[in-house]
Each structure stands twice: as C-alpha cells, then as structure tokens.
C-alpha cells in the first residue's frame, strides 16, 4: 500500500518506523540524484554522496519538520544547501576523472537518444547555472516559483526573472523543434 508523504513522516516520527522512511527514500531517490548530478556538473559520485547525506540529514531533522512546505521541497532545500556548502569548501577540487567518465557515458547514451533530447540538453547548456536550476526546479520538477525560491535561497523576483529569461532563450533555441512538432 502506497501511503502519502505525510503518513509516512508521521510513522517515522511517532513510531520510529524506519521502513516508512525507506519508502520515502525510494520515492525520491531518482529525482533527487538526477537533480544533484546537474548541480554537481555531472560528477555522479559526488551527487550520490550528497543525496545520501541529504536523506540522512533529513531523517535526523524529521521531528522538527512542521509540514509548512512539502517534504520534497524541504528535502531539496537540504540537498541544495549541502551541495552549495560543499562547493564553497571544495571549489578547486573538481573530480575531473569522474566528470570525464560521466560525460563519456553520457556521450554513448546521447548517441542513442533522439535528436530532440540532445538539442534540449544543448539548449539547457546555454543557460546560466541559476537559470538552469530555476528551469529544472519549476518546469521539470513542478515546484512553484515560491518553492524554488525557498530551495535556491533566492528572492522570489530573482527566480521569476531567471525562469523568464531562460524561457525566452529556450524558446529561441528550440523553435525549429517546436515548428516541427506543430507542423506534425
């Protein structure tokens, strides 16, 4: 039986039910790890470590979770804080080998993907980091602008501006695809 996030959190906090938390981890692991891979510039090992740390930190802080925001928003905020903090501490230490490995793997996968996916990735690559994150959170993950602002620790207006600018850029870059889809 699939319980919703609130029920699972209640079980974890009230009964110390770790199996309920395992369900939450399984529910969000793919999305969070994928998001963090983007945030970690393709370093999959680092992204997975950060995701793991985020889940552990969230578990420890769960009794203090008041439910004002969605669990996913709260979890993403913890994860983003961890990554940003890690980046600040380890700015020069980029695991280039891991990045190269990931990119090589991506290249193989990309060769099998449709042109649309490849061009979408290229177009996303044209955006600034902040624009890319804002688009990812709002348009891919479905967070509201307010939730994205909370996660990114940015003013709401700044997030809206990032999304609008990114949208305009993507609209221009991908218009050939859109025309193709529109024309059938």
Partner 1 sequence: MVITDGVVRPAPEPFGRDEPDFDTWLSQQLQFNEPHLDNDGFCERVMAQLPPVPAKRAERRATRYQYAAVVAASAIVCWQFPLEEVLTVMAEQSISLYSLVGIGILSSMVAMTGGILAARRG
Binding site for partner 1 (CB under 8 A): 15-16, 18, 21-22, 25-26, 29-30, 33-34, 48, 51-52, 55-56, 59-60, 109, 113, 115-123, 135-136, 139-140, 142, 167-168, 170-179, 181
Shortest approach of partner 1 to residue 89 CB, angstroms? 21
Which H or E element spans position 66? Answer: none
Q: Of the two residues 91 and 138, which places its CB atom closer to partner 1 in the complex?
A: 138
DSSP calls for 10-37: HHHHHH--HHHHHHHHHHHHHHHHHHHH
**Closer Cβ to partner 1, 91 or 106, answer by number:** 106
CA distance linking residue 155 with residue 140, whole number of Å: 20
Nearest CB to partner 1, comparing residues 128 and 171:
171
Q: What's the min distance (Å) between Cβ of 114 and partner 1?
A: 8
91 vs 108 by CB, closer to partner 1: 108
Report the nearest approach of partner 1 to the CB of residue 142 (Å): 7
Copy the structure tokens of residue 25.
């981890």
Smallest separation, CB 177 to partner 1 (Å): 7
CA distances from 49 to 30, 52, 181 (A): 13, 5, 39
Distance CA 85, CA 60 (A): 19
User: Minimum distance between the CB of residue 131 and partner 1, rounded to whole angstroms?
Assistant: 13
Which is closer to partner 1, CB of 91 or CB of 111?
111
Give the residue among 117, 129, 113, 112 at the shortest CA–CA distance from 41.
129
């Amino acid at each position: 039986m699939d319980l919703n996030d609130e029920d699972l959190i209640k079980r974890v906090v009230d009964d110390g039910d770790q199996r309920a938390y395992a369900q939450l981890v399984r529910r969000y692991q793919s999305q969070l790890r994928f998001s963090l891979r983007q945030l970690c510039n393709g370093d999959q090992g680092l992204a997975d470590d950060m995701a793991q740390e985020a889940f552990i930190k969230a578990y420890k802080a769960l009794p203090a979770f008041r439910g004002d925001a969605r669990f996913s928003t709260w979890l993403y905020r913890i994860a983003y804080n961890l990554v940003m903090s890690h980046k600040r501490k380890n700015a020069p230490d980029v695991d280039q080998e891991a990045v190269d490995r990931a990119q090589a793997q991506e290249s193989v996968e990309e060769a099998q993907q449709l042109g649309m996916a490849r061009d979408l990735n290229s177009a996303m690559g044209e955006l600034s980091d902040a624009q890319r994150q804002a688009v990812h959170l709002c348009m891919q993950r479905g967070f509201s602008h307010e939730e994205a602002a909370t996660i990114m620790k940015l003013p709401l207006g700044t997030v809206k501006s990032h999304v609008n600018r990114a949208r305009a850029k993507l609209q221009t870059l991908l218009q050939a695809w859109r025309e193709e889809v529109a024309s059938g």
